[in-house]
Amino acid sequence: MNSGQIMTAQLENGGTIDFVLDANAPRGGMKHTFFTPDKKYAVQFFNNPQDGQNPNIQDRIRTIVGIYNPTLSEQDGGALGNTEKTAEYFRSRFCWPVAIVQSPEFGIVCPTYPQRFFFGDNASTHGLNLKGKDKKSNWFTGRMRKYISSGELGDFRTMLSAAICLSRSIRRMHQAGLAHSDLSCNNVLIDPQTGSTVVIDIDSLVVPGKYPPEVCGTRGYIAPEVLTTMELDPRDPRRCLPCVSTDLHALPVLIYEYLFLRHPLAGPKIYSPDSAEEDDFLAMGPKATFIEDPNDTSNRPQDLKITIQSLSKGLEKLFLRAFVDGLHNPSERPTAMEWERELLKAWDRLRRCENPHCEKKWFILRDEREPVCPYCKTRVTDKIITLTLKSAMRGKQGVYRDCGEVVVYDQMPLYDWHVYSNVHNDEKAGNDMRAYICKHNGMWLLVNHGIEGMTSPTGRLVPKGQAVELKDGAVFRMTDRENGLLCEVSAI
Ligand SMILES: [Zn+2]
């Protein structure tokens, strides 16, 4: 192979794309990767050319690039119901193949990941050369963390944001009936500075009605039932293969790692004193035990200070369902949509720690009556202002139901989903700020930044640029327009 030589690939869609031959092309388990001269796209071929000729693999990949593609609008041949707006949203969150190479051999073309998912200069303070390496999450959640520059590490809030980003991407995939099959720290890149994630290695997706890919997963993320039955013949009905419910094990493992910087099953328990291999198999497979299992403390580290009880009550419950009820019982595992919802609720309870030296900087306010940062134990001294958002019940005048709670902080932005009951914080919502919270001369204000029809507690109109004071017991309308939310203030 002549490194540096430019080759032209013929695409199935009739086009062509140039790529640069490289004798040291990066090689994964299944494929190797070349890049286009401008490095905007990766052109990937199978390590074993027979895989590329396998009609089942080709067929599966064609549907991934086409009708199951959430990064392409339905109009352009992508997923059903996908608009250009939602397609664009997911383009930055998946590294989804965009075309199929016909010759010189079967392969795929993927966009390269955005620059923020590669380490730049000065990423390590300990002389580790990380430049150009991709940001796999275990750099940030594992033992290597101490070698990474503090500027790269983000804080609790950005890690929570990454967890939301990932659960949303997985929810979108599962909604289409797709399973990733190999979700792991290697296949989800994370940028803790911006709190964003990108899901890669999409070509190993499990597609409904197609032959499953021949991947079994990555150590630490394989669902216990898959690991336990891995030695059985794939046609044996007892064999568990990667599917949506196995993704629903890997997803909370990643979320737990992002939020706690440790693995939920890696504790002190010794499962097999004689064989490290057997010990590992039991610990992640048939005998796996959550390190925070409330009933079985055999795998609990002695010095466990920060636990799932430091999160919101809703997230605590989900982790118990994922790693206690559902660890060996896949149907009990929370769905990606449940994770997304609970993480968003927790996001609305974030509070900045008053200790300027707090390592985590932000925490989830679990209980207004016990407002203490779980990381540095600093107690909140400032007022705690909670907005309860309510929507009118259709057809029942004066009857409202709660549809969200927000614990505010100074300079907090508010969006359409804080104003209208029919907008949710998801890929369909716009991200224009509609109002913001501001602490001014000891007064807490909600400033109208672009809402028509906001009314004050006394019923007068609050024009853009003006504010409502957030006093305990105040009730006002975010807007008097259709689907407008009512806001109840509590200040303690
Ligand atoms: Zn703190």
Residue type, 33: T
Question: Which of the listed residues 112, 133, 161 is the one where a domain comes to its end?
Answer: 112
Output the domain CATH number for residue 318.
Answer: 1.10.510.10
Output the domain CATH number for residue 66.
Answer: 3.30.200
Query: Domain for residue 19, yes or no?
Result: yes
- Residue 28 pLDDT: 81
Query: Domain for residue 353, yes or no?
Result: no
* Residue 214 CB contacts under 8 Å (≥ 6 apart), including other chains: none
Query: Helices marked H in 40-94 — which ranges?
Result: 49-53, 55-65, 84-91
Measure 320 CA to ligand 1 centroid, in angstroms.
25
- Residue 213 pLDDT: 81
State CA 474 to chain mean position distance. Answer: 36
Measure 197 CA to ligand 1 centroid, in angstroms.
25
- Rounded Cα–Cα distance for residues 254 and 316 (Å): 15
Same domain, 65 and 159: no
Same domain, 319 and 424: no
Measure 313 CA to ligand 1 centroid, in angstroms.
19
Measure 204 CA to ligand 1 centroid, in angstroms.
41
Query: Domain for residue 374, yes or no?
Result: no
Measure 351 CA to ligand 1 centroid, in angstroms.
10
Query: Domain for residue 356, yes or no?
Result: no
- Rounded Cα–Cα distance for residues 178 and 242 (Å): 11
- Residue 357 pLDDT: 96
- Residue 143 pLDDT: 87
Measure 356 CA to ligand 1 centroid, in angstroms.
8
Same domain, 183 and 80: no
Measure 48 CA to ligand 1 centroid, in angstroms.
52
CB atoms within 10 A of CB 430: 11
Contact status, residue 70 vs residue 91, Cβ threshold 8 Å: no
Measure 164 CA to ligand 1 centroid, in angstroms.
22
Question: Which of the listed residues 112, 130, 148 is the one where a domain comes to its end?
Answer: 112
Same domain, 96 and 177: no
Q: Residue 384 is encoded by which pair of tokens?
A: 């705690």
Measure 113 CA to ligand 1 centroid, in angstroms.
34
Query: Domain for residue 357, yes or no?
Result: no
Same domain, 481 and 391: yes
Same domain, 163 and 217: yes
Contact status, residue 272 vs residue 283, Cβ threshold 8 Å: no
Contact status, residue 308 vs residue 314, Cβ threshold 8 Å: no
What's the pLDDT tens digit per position in 65-109?
998 999 999 998 888 888 999 999 999 999 999 999 999 999 999
Q: Mean pLDDT score of the chain, rounded to an integer?
A: 94
CB atoms within 10 A of CB 278: 12
* Residue 276 CB contacts under 8 Å (≥ 6 apart), including other chains: none
Which residue stretches of the chain have pLDDT < 70?
A: none
Same domain, 423 and 465: yes
- Ion ligand 1: residue ranges with CB closer than 5 A: 353, 355, 358, 373, 375-376, 378
Measure 149 CA to ligand 1 centroid, in angstroms.
20
Same domain, 124 and 7: no
- Residue 271 pLDDT: 96
Same domain, 160 and 28: no
Q: Residue 401 is encoded by which pair of tokens?
A: 């139901």
Measure 161 CA to ligand 1 centroid, in angstroms.
18
Buried b (16+ CB within 10 A) or exposed e, 180-209: bbbbbbbbbbbbbeebbbbbbbbbbbbbee
Measure 377 CA to ligand 1 centroid, in angstroms.
6
Same domain, 166 and 246: yes
When divided into structural domains, the chain yields a total of 3
Nearest Cα to 406, choosing from 448, 364, 447?
364
Domain containing 9 equals 1-112
CB atoms within 10 A of CB 396: 9
Question: Which of the listed residues 112, 138, 165 is the one where a domain comes to its end?
Answer: 112
- Residue 78 pLDDT: 87
Contact status, residue 468 vs residue 457, Cβ threshold 8 Å: yes
- Rounded Cα–Cα distance for residues 398 and 420 (Å): 17
Output the domain CATH number for residue 456.
Answer: 2.60.200
Residue type, 380: V
* Residue 277 CB contacts under 8 Å (≥ 6 apart), including other chains: none
Measure 308 CA to ligand 1 centroid, in angstroms.
16
Contact status, residue 344 vs residue 334, Cβ threshold 8 Å: no
Nearest Cα to 224, choosing from 327, 296, 321?
327
Same domain, 277 and 391: no
Query: Domain for residue 379, yes or no?
Result: no
* Residue 446 CB contacts under 8 Å (≥ 6 apart), including other chains: 387, 414, 435, 436, 437, 467, 468, 470, 487
Same domain, 266 and 337: yes
Coil, helix or strand at residue 368? coil
Nearest Cα to 200, choosing from 144, 243, 137, 140?
137
Query: Domain for residue 324, yes or no?
Result: yes
Query: Domain for residue 334, yes or no?
Result: yes
* Residue 383 CB contacts under 8 Å (≥ 6 apart), including other chains: 444, 491, 492
Measure 150 CA to ligand 1 centroid, in angstroms.
17
Measure 437 CA to ligand 1 centroid, in angstroms.
22
- Residue 193 pLDDT: 94
